[in-house]
Structure 1
């Protein structure tokens, strides 16, 4: 049985070839590497890289345009050219995509290794690309914005990384396509000043309370008091509001926590 399978693979020119798993609507682009076989014509078996102009060099035919076509479309184009040229009467063409290079994703913002990365496989997902880029930097936020084109329309989705990874929500781990952009903004911060051990700016964690903010600042000094605690916050119009918070109140981005000095 094993010998039979090996013989079939050799017949189709498929031995020792590992095809990339791709959706049927994947469009070939420059840099993609494909392997083309023609049934009962082993001399026509060709492995080629799609050029910048979208073409490959194929025996008997010379340059054949496959860029911008799906796998089935490229098979049909090669078969038609072989038939029209009188080279093969009824060509049965099989095309395998062995390496994807033409499709790239731009990874921008607060990643450890931002840049442009190729889609090595057509079913690459967001978490895979985040890992390729070294993960989100310490200065990055918890939300990833993925933008691109789907079905000819502009596409944009905000992904909660905490929900995707820590909670295991696989529905957020969306598949990527060539031309997508992944962006992570800086993490929101808050500021704490006055009678605290370590005044300054700190990363604002999700649902962070005033008490947790005080802990981030190392706690109050001996002169500090909770009675004069204030939070300065800008409203949508840019006007600063002074809030007298409780320790359980949740902070917002760019809040300023002020710990005053005790008068006694």
Structure 2
């Protein structure tokens, strides 16, 4: 069940791609603007390519308008076979329907992915599979993704941690996307380090990162730097800026500004 509201670094792109699965086209639910090709074995004159109307109907030789909207491809084949047989047009008909253009079921994949855009749900697809179709998460993307969907006038949000899904054996917690979903990969959280470090600047914040690890990312301290004189500027939940004396094993938070001071002597 989709829960109300509560990618992954670029090196996961290949791993996500391995999750792409295919399901039979027979399971696809037909909808408005889908283009289908219908063929009847042994009756080439009945072969038809047609578009599903907004009301879910198609036009087929001999049968006229047929309601196929919201049926799976397999169910639609069975319906056409039944009508051809019951009306005496074809004995034991064998109908094959292939979807030429998927237009009725789409998902938007946005944010920090390599190829953001809209993607057709031509098969049952999970969130990670659709992110893979969007080229994977780019280096600035977060480990998490947010899925938003609207049903019966209510908006629901689901947050998934792609790193946990792929690295920690939690793939079963992945969810299947539905028509109209918006999959958004936000920018990864960052921290800033300044003062007496070799490479000051902004860096990606990983989970459970300590001050010591942050300094290491910054290239270590300069010869004039002091590991005993480190401060962190941090904004509280009330948006108040505070300055804290930091220890090397202290965990840092999103948007922290770490400053390594000079030695006093």
Q: TM-score scaled by structure 2?
A: 0.76
Deviations 1:46-76 (A, max 9, x none): 4534345343220123343433455587568
The unaligned stretches of length 5 or more in structure 1 are 1-17
Whether contact under 8 Å (2:199, 2:218) holds in the other structure is: yes
Closer, same or farther: CA 220–143 of 1 in aligned 2, 3 Å = same
Q: Which residue in the other structure is 1:31 paired with? A: 34
Give the CA deviation at 1:260: 0.7
Q: How far 1:135 sits from its partner (Å)?
A: 0.4
Q: Distance in 1 between matches of 2:121 and 2:169?
A: 23
1:28 deviates by 2.8
Q: Are residue 20 (structure 1) and residue 25 (structure 2) matched?
A: yes
Shift of 1:108: 0.2
Q: Tell me how far apart the structure 2 counterparts of residues 150 and 47 of structure 1 sit (CA, whole Å).
A: 35
How many corresponding residue pairs? 241
Contact map agreement 1:194 1:260 (CA 8 A) in 2 = yes
2:112 corresponds to which of 110, 126, 129: 110
Distance in 2, matches of 1:254 and 1:222, equals 26
Matches within 5 A, 1:137-176: 137-149=138-150, 154-176=155-177
- In structure 2, the CA distance between the partners of 1:202 and 1:154, relative to structure 1 (3 Å rule), is same
Q: Are residues 150 and 166 of structure 1, via their aligned partners in 2, closer, same or farther at CA, if it must alter by over 3 Å?
A: farther
Once the 2 structures are TM-superposed, how far is the Cα of residue 149 of structure 1 from its aligned partner? 4.5
8 Å Cα contact 1:50/1:66 also seen in 2: no
In 2, Cα distance between the equivalents of 1:44 and 1:74?
19
Range moving further from structure 2, 74-83 or 144-153: 74-83
* TM-aligned CA distance change 1:181 to 1:222, over 3 Å: same
Q: Does 1:231 align with 2:236?
A: no
Give 1:236-247 correspondences, 5 Å limit. 236-247=237-248
Partner Cα distance (1:47, 1:151) in 2: 36
Report SS of the residue matched to 1:127.
helix
Q: Indicate if the aligned counterparts of 1:100 and 1:120 stay in contact, CA closer than 8 A.
A: no
Distance in 2 of aligned mates of 1:133 and 1:49: 29
**What does residue 131 of structure 1 align with?**
132
| Aligned CA distance change for structure 1 residues 77 and 100 (closer, same or farther; 3 Å) | same
**Structure of greater Rg:** 1
